[in-house]
Structure 1
Amino acid sequence: MNLVYADEQGNVFDHPDYIGLGRSADMVVELMEDELIPLPHGATLVGLPFTRPAALDPDSGEMLLLPGNVQAVGALLPQGFTRLCLPGYIKTDKNEKLPLFGYTAVVWKDGGFYVAAEQSDSPDKWDPLNCDRGEVERGVERLTSKYPDNRLFKHLSNCALGYECLTSSNTFLQRWEGAVPVSYSCNAGCFGCISEQPDDSGFPAPQTRMDFKPTVEEITEIMLEHLRTPESIISFGQGCEGEPSTQAKIIVESMRQVRSQNPLGYININTNAGLTDHIRAIVDAGLNLMRVSTISALDDHYNAYYKPRGYTLANVEKSLRYATDKGVYTSINYLIFPGVTDREEEIEAMIGFAKRTGLKLIQMRNLNIDPESYLELIPKAQGEIYGMKQMLEIYRQELPDVVIGSYTHIPPSQLAK
């Protein structure tokens, strides 16, 4: 498995004399054959600025840094693939931060690129090639013309056309899971927030957060347009907004108005679930699905990343338990990182958390972050590091009733409700 690297112009090469390596947290590690799969369709290769590629010399057995004006290369995986290792590199300038992406180890093997990853779901619905950009443009034109005063449709048109966000694109294609953002504020200060960063963070947010409070009418127009089939999903809580439950009052009123007119489809919320009273009100208004973002079931790790304001991880657990008990299909967006998520203490805590809350689904999401900044922020490892592949196997064994995947699938029992 040859080392893959890039020159200053971004041209990618493989090195015939050196073996490519990966990283687990801050440790450079050898890649195992059973960790590698062919580069998935839809993946992107990127150079990692201010880095030097780490390699193994097979003749001497020594690890080395590739000399010259070169940089390490990582793969950005499409939805449905869980990374098992970071790229093998060392930073040349520790003050520089990598852009907020989820970098995966990549090597050249058997005449093609391979990555350290495992397919955890079918990627079809979230494959950009299955999203016709011309159809999206026509959908934007049709719905913004039909609702010229609806600021949400206008806001989402930029998400769909500018960022090519697939969830907002679905809103205009009127299929699958669509977006209805509602909140410009948040009750957490996530270190890796993709829509808002402090000026001194060192890395800009890749998306722009919405800057207005929508009306109940604007929200209901989007929901009624999207909930056209029994399988449709409309989701509060998108990357372009803050915490949706901070706007519980307008969410509840919108849900009630929609359900008085239309029983079709599913209403979902993507949330940190910290505002338990607000979550209870939203659940009681007829919520079908709840997807909770978390990075850990350990307080010190959770607090270091999320910087919660006015809530604790115990509130998150109460919210999930309440929703599960009320028949909501509950899942977590689990932000994962090789060398951290696969720590012994993290695995044990998450298994207990899943059992106590009655989770139905764990969605593995590769954390988009500068690795060094994240590792400086969080607690050090306390126990053994199992490796991401073994971690996934442990979850499948210990949580046989919990689906381990990448995104929401509506089970037959929910469709029949």
Structure 2
Amino acid sequence: MQLVYADEHGRVFDHPELLAVARSGDRLVELFEDELIPLPPGATLVGLPYTRAVGMDAKTGEMKAMAPGCQAVGALLPQGYTRYYVPGYMKTDKTQLLPLFGYTAVVWKDGEFYVAAGQTDDPEPWNPENCDRKELELQVDRLLKRYPDNRLYKHLSHCALEYQCLTASNTFLQRLEGAVPVSFACNAGCFGCISEQPDDSGFPAPQTRLKFKPTVDEIVDIMLEHLKTPNAIISFGQGCEGEPSTQVKLIVEAIRRVRAQTSNGFININTNAGLTDHLRAITDAGLDLMRVSTISALDEHYNAYYHPRGYTLANVEKTLRYAADKGVYTSINYLVFPGVTDREEEIEAMIGFARRTGLKLIQMRNLNIDPDAYLELIPKAKGEVYGMKTMLDIFREELPDVAIGSYTHVPPAFAG
């Protein structure tokens, strides 16, 4: 398992004398065969700027940093895969923060690239290679012409064509889960927000946030267009917006109008679940699915990352319990990071949280963050670090009624 690194021109090499190592939290660790899979289709190799790759001398076992200009290499994984380790690296400039991506350790083995990850869901529906770009352009043009005054379609066309957002693309291709963003405001100040960052944060936000308040007509147009098949999913709450439940009146009215015209498909909300009263109203209007974003079931860790405004983790739990009691298929968007999520105290807290809230699905989502900045932000480990692979095994054993996946699904009773 050879070290992989990149030169200043972006060319990728393997090192004949250094073995690959990875990071779990702030520790450099060796990799084992059962923690590796071939580089999945749709994955992308990227250099980590301001870093030097670190490997292990095969003869002495000594950790060695490569010369300046030899960057660490990581893989950005498609949906369906959960990383076990971050690439091994050291920073050349600690004042510089890495772009907001979920870097996965990569090695060269048996003549091909392997990654430190495991498959936690069917990758094919969300494989970027299955998005026909030519067909997407045709469908974007068709719907923009059909709805020339709908600002949401114009916004989503930019997300689909420029950012290559698959959820936005689905909205035009009318397949799988589509997007209907509604909010430019948020009641949290997430440390790693991908759509809005303070000017002095040091993080370049990879996409821009919705800048207008849509009308109910604009929202309903998109929902009705997408909900034409029984298994379609249309979702409030995208990476290009704030917290959707801040626009509770728009959402409630839109759901009621749509459900008065069709019973097709599933209406989902991706939310931080802090505004419990708002989400009760949305649930009662006819919500089918709810996915709640969380990074931890421990208050100290949760608060350090989300900076919640006017709510607590207890509100999140209360919202999930209410939705589950009303028959909504509930899941969490679990932002996971090797060496943190797999800590003993984190695992125990999440098992309790899942049991109390009646969760149906845990979506394992690789956290897009600069590892060093994240580790400085959150509490230190208090117990043993089990490893991501072992953590998943524990969840499957302790939570037999909770599915492990990577993205939003049609409830099993309706699948197919």
Pairwise same-fold verdict (TM > 0.5): yes
| 1:93 Cα deviation after fit | 1.3
Counterparts of 2:237 and 2:153, CA distance in 1: 15
| 1:412 Cα deviation after fit | 3.6
Whether the 8 Å contact between 1:53 and 1:89 is mirrored in structure 2 is yes
Match of 2:402 in 1: 402
Match of 1:277 in 2: 277
Match of 1:133 in 2: 133
| 1:64 Cα deviation after fit | 1.3
Match of 1:99 in 2: 99
Match of 1:20 in 2: 20
Counterparts of 2:53 and 2:132, CA distance in 1: 37
Match of 2:179 in 1: 179
Whether the 8 Å contact between 1:39 and 1:115 is mirrored in structure 2 is yes
| 1:10 Cα deviation after fit | 1.0
Letter in 1 for 2:85: C
Q: Deviations over 1:80-117 (max 9, x none)?
A: 10000000111111111110000011110001111100
Counterparts of 1:68 and 1:382, CA distance in 2: 35
Letter in 1 for 2:63: M
Q: State how 1:12-411 maps to structure 2 within 5 Å.
A: 12-411=12-411
Counterparts of 1:415 and 1:325, CA distance in 2: 21
Counterparts of 1:74 and 1:258, CA distance in 2: 43
TM-score (norm 1): 0.98
| 1:54 Cα deviation after fit | 1.2
Letter in 2 for 1:278: H
DSSP 3-state at the match of 1:393: helix
Whether the 8 Å contact between 2:266 and 2:410 is mirrored in structure 1 is no
- Structure 1 regions of 5+ residues with no counterpart? none
Counterparts of 1:52 and 1:400, CA distance in 2: 42
> Alignment identity in percent?
75
DSSP 3-state at the match of 1:319: helix
| 1:415 Cα deviation after fit | 5.5
| 1:179 Cα deviation after fit | 0.4
Counterparts of 1:174 and 1:42, CA distance in 2: 21
- Structure 1 consecutive aligned stretches of length 4 or more whose deviation exceeds 6 Å: none
Q: Deviations over 1:260-279 (max 9, x none)?
A: 11111100000000000000
DSSP 3-state at the match of 1:413: coil
Whether the 8 Å contact between 2:290 and 2:329 is mirrored in structure 1 is yes
DSSP 3-state at the match of 1:285: helix
| 1:409 Cα deviation after fit | 2.1
Q: Deviations over 1:209-266 (max 9, x none)?
A: 0000001111011111110011011000001000000001110000001111111110
Q: In the comparison of the two structures, how many residue pairs are matched?
A: 416
DSSP 3-state at the match of 2:16: strand
Counterparts of 2:100 and 2:242, CA distance in 1: 18
Counterparts of 2:352 and 2:87, CA distance in 1: 31
Counterparts of 1:232 and 1:68, CA distance in 2: 50
DSSP 3-state at the match of 2:273: coil
| 1:145 Cα deviation after fit | 0.9
Letter in 2 for 1:86: V
- Structure 2 regions of 5+ residues with no counterpart? none
DSSP 3-state at the match of 1:315: helix
Whether the 8 Å contact between 1:230 and 1:415 is mirrored in structure 2 is no
Whether the 8 Å contact between 1:160 and 1:166 is mirrored in structure 2 is yes
| 1:321 Cα deviation after fit | 0.3
| 1:68 Cα deviation after fit | 4.4
Aligned CA distance change for structure 1 residues 343 and 135 (closer, same or farther; 3 Å)? same
RMSD (Å) for aligned C-alpha atoms: 1.0
TM-score (norm 2): 0.99
Whether the 8 Å contact between 2:233 and 2:410 is mirrored in structure 1 is no
DSSP 3-state at the match of 1:105: strand
Q: Deviations over 1:300-356 (max 9, x none)?
A: 000000000000000000000000000000000000000000000000000000000
Q: Deviations over 1:371-397 (max 9, x none)?
A: 111011100101000001100000000
Counterparts of 1:204 and 1:68, CA distance in 2: 24
